[in-house]
Amino acid sequence: MYFLKKAKTEAKRFPVNKKSHDITKADDPRISNKHDHDIVCERDLVIQVIEKEEQFNQLEDQWNKLVSSSEMQTSIFQSYDWQRVWWHHFGEENKLKIVTIWFNGLLVALAPLYENRIKLFNGNWYRKLEFIGNRVPDSKGLFYDYSPTDYLDFIIDKSFKSKVVSKLTDWLIGKLLEYDEVLLDELPADGVFYENLLPELEKKDVNIKQIRKEICYQIDLKGIDTIDDYLSSLSRKQRYELRYSKKAVLKKKLFEIEKARNEEQVIDFFNELVSMHQERWNKLGYPGIFYDSRVYNFLRDITLACHKRGSLRFKRAVEKENNSLALDLAFSFNDVIYDYQKALDSDHKLAKYGPGNALLYFLIEDGINTGYSKIDLMRGGERYKRRVSNSSSYNWEVSLKSATKCNKKGQKIYELQNQLDQILRKGKRELSLLNIQIMQNGWIKSIPSYYSFLKKRLQNS
């Protein structure tokens, strides 16, 4: 596909510092102690806001140590690699605002933010703070609301929780006088912000708006000792389907499960997953997430980075002729496995034996046997997730605004620009969808095909 060739030549792979792989032996980095308005000293805790990429790079060892040792649950999406690679591909002209809190040279808290400016006529009319890793900045009118990151949050060492929460709360309130909005997306309901910072902010003079986002399904493995224990908790139908797919591998030998073991295999598996994903969504009339080459480059680079860290779980179901039937891209971090992206060739004659289910079965079995506490099935309400999970939660979006400061002019311009952007994005999107119809059906059949596709979308909306 053209986007694969284009993406390979456009972006350099983001380097991973191999020396920092063993984070338990990492030396504490020392960041320059410049006394400016972004540094606030109070007793033993020091706040410093990182605004330069060189400083961002220096955080790697301490960042990884914090997210790996923190007793508060942190996810793969809060790791240094994920945040740094996202910024490399999507940071563009925005400005870093990573809030760090230090105790005697030790990093004890992080708020990985950046400044997003809404520009009009060369003026910065509306300024927001958002999470690094949030929505992909729009370039083709397709993914304005698409985020490759499932969970985002503040990161706090539990030993310093009370002091750090107070310090971060005061910092946020102060920044609300400087910024028009602090927009925090993909917040887990049981995370640091919701359980610690939000209750403090609700006591202050802050306008808070909360929006419930997508549901997230999980398989809680605590108390489950064997795969049979897990299967016994499922419905009879789902239990049968998983065992049926397992037999297709172990007894009928219809296909095998292969793991990507080196960088060459990782790249091959990744390109197969992309092609399979794009083919499926193109047939349905949609461009697919990899239509934007930046998304391809980002996910390729983070997959390679996780491979180098030893946290990649990338497998495929492959038949005797070495054709892939299904692929499953997953990551492990701390004691959780994140089942991130799947692809399935639903047209293959062996698809009826459930190669996707087989990959899921062996992922769950591996998670149980290796002592993981949870398999996270990520955002989205797909039917198979409901059927195999035993717990769920929702993500939230929280908007913070000052109750005293009101940038009415900037707010109106921001709303107007948003409305204009939506019109332009919808126009670009429809042109892209029409282009997909042309690719699938040719020029002559593309117009009636597009009309039928549009009618079906409107009926389902």
Domain ranges of the chain: 20-214+396-425, 219-394
Mean pLDDT of the chain: 84
pTM above 0.85, yes or no: no
* CATH entry, 20-214+396-425, from 3.30.10.20, 1.10.1040.10, 3.40.50.300, 3.40.630.30: 3.40.630.30
The SS3 call for residue 50 is strand
Pairing of strands 123-131, 181-188: parallel
pLDDT exceeds cutoff 80 at 43? no
Q: In angstroms, rounded to a whole number, what is the distance separating the alpha carbons of residues 14 and 305?
A: 8
Pick from 11-15, 266-270, 308-312, 333-337: least confident: 11-15
* Fold equal for 20-214+396-425 and 219-394: yes
Assess contact for 324 and 254: CB atoms under 8 A.
Answer: no
Residue range 398-430, pLDDT digits in tens: 999 987 766 666 666 666 766 676 676 667 666
Domain topology for 219-394: Aminopeptidase (3.40.630)
Assess contact for 318 and 256: CB atoms under 8 A.
Answer: yes
pLDDT exceeds cutoff 90 at 7? no
For residues 152-163, average pLDDT? 91
Q: In angstroms, rounded to a whole number, what is the distance separating the alpha carbons of residues 134 and 56?
A: 17
Instruction: Give just the sign of the alpha carbon dihedral 38, 42, 43, 47.
Output: negative
Assess contact for 27 and 65: CB atoms under 8 A.
Answer: no
